[in-house]
Amino acid sequence: MYRTTLAAIACAASLVPGSAFGTDKDLSSGTISLYVENDLFAGTDRYYTSGVKIGWSSVDLEKFSDTPYASPILPIINLLPFINEKDYQKNLLFTFGQNIYTPDNTESKELIEGDRPYAGWLYLGFGVAWKNADVRNTLVLNIGVVGSWSYAQQSQRFIHDLRGFDHPRGWDNQLHNELGVTAVYSREWRWPKHDRRVGLDWELLPHAGAAVGNVYTYANVGAEARLGFNLPDDFGTAAIDSAATTSTPVEGNQAAKRARFDFGLYLFARADGRVVARNIFLDGNTFGNSPSVDRKWLVADLSAGAAINYGNTKFAYALVYRSEEFEGQGEGQVFGTVSVNFTF
């Protein structure tokens, strides 16, 4: 893809506890997910212009203490309510990603008042999921850096060089370096219950959640509807967000019966609405003076796409419309998102 993607893969691979070729089940199994988002899919180059995220989910665990890699956070996990109930399957999660934001006018070297600031976000995510056939809970802590330490300028320069585009000229006006921390909780449901995932069928997947931190603070609610052939046994196809990790499919005793052949195909439409109290990429740095714009409180994402699942792999593509995020933006934004999930 490009250098950011390769760097994300290399870094995330170093975070995965061991090699995929190990003999221990915790090392040799799990789900790898790769997300790539870019507004080039829609023929633009502005606002939320690029996102790359790679994630790893452990195999399903009866309890988090079954894997030694949960040891550093096990005391915290054990304090959380409901998470250790026996009826839930459990997953340990790791993610690594980078987001890039630019104004509409990228030709000016000067700060453009009223236009979105230049900003980058480079982060690691550590989290847990607990789920059954009907519901999945995800709790993720994202820790990273905003500002030049995110290497957003260098990543964008590289991809523009590959495509023969001019470099955006205003990166000297980007947000200042700042440590970013955000805790995100998400809950997803599946309805109706499918004892068999064979043939043509449909499914509705509502979701709700909240994030708290100096990077993002918001509450959100939404749903995904999908219709297709041999639907996968997972919880939908979200774009990159603070809680998106891997597909964490339902497995084991709670899995629905599958078709004799492994191919599936479906169409989906997804809506998400957020009440936003904090977005550092619009509000500016937490401390000190920095570029900023007047953030809108209500933001919506509407997306539609298609997915193919074959065996232990799922590929999905969607176009996402995001409503105006700040005063003076004038119109919403469209970008494309590609995701690949591979269980090994």
Tell me: pLDDT of 3 over 60: no
d(CA 241, CA 208): 13
d(CA 161, CA 142): 30
Tell me: pLDDT of 150 over 60: yes
Residue 307 is predicted with a pLDDT of 95
Domain ranges of the chain: 3-343
Q: Is residue 257 within a helix (H) or strand (E), and if so which, with residue range?
A: strand 257-258
| 201-206 own/partner pairs: CB under 8 Å, 24+ apart | 201/227, 201/228, 201/229, 201/231, 202/226, 202/227, 203/227, 203/231, 205/235, 205/236
Closest C-alpha to 157, from 318, 323, 3: 3
Amino acid at 62: E
Residue 324 is predicted with a pLDDT of 98
Average pLDDT over residues 232-248: 76
Residue 197 is predicted with a pLDDT of 87
10 Å Cβ neighbour count for 171? 19
Q: How confident is the model at residue 203 (pLDDT cuts 50, 70, 90)?
A: very high
| Residue 311 in tokens | 């065996």
Residues 26-64 pLDDT 10s = 445 788 999 999 998 888 899 999 999 999 988 888 888
**Given the structure tokens 């980007």, which residue do they identify?**
174
Q: Which residues contact 66 (CB under 8 A, 6 or more apart)?
A: none
Q: Is the pTM of this model over 0.85?
A: yes
Tell me: pLDDT of 142 over 70: yes
Average pLDDT over all residues of the chain: 87
10 Å Cβ neighbour count for 256? 15
- Peptide bond preceding 192: is omega within 30 degrees of 0, i.e. cis? yes
Residue 191 DSSP code:
B
Give the C-alpha distances (Å, rounded to integers) separating 338 from 2, 174, 305, 306: 14, 27, 10, 10
Residues 242-291 pLDDT 10s = 665 567 777 666 778 877 778 999 999 999 999 999 999 999 999 989 99
Q: How confident is the model at residue 122 (pLDDT cuts 50, 70, 90)?
A: very high
Average pLDDT over residues 289-317: 94
Class of the CATH domain delimited by 3-343: mainly beta
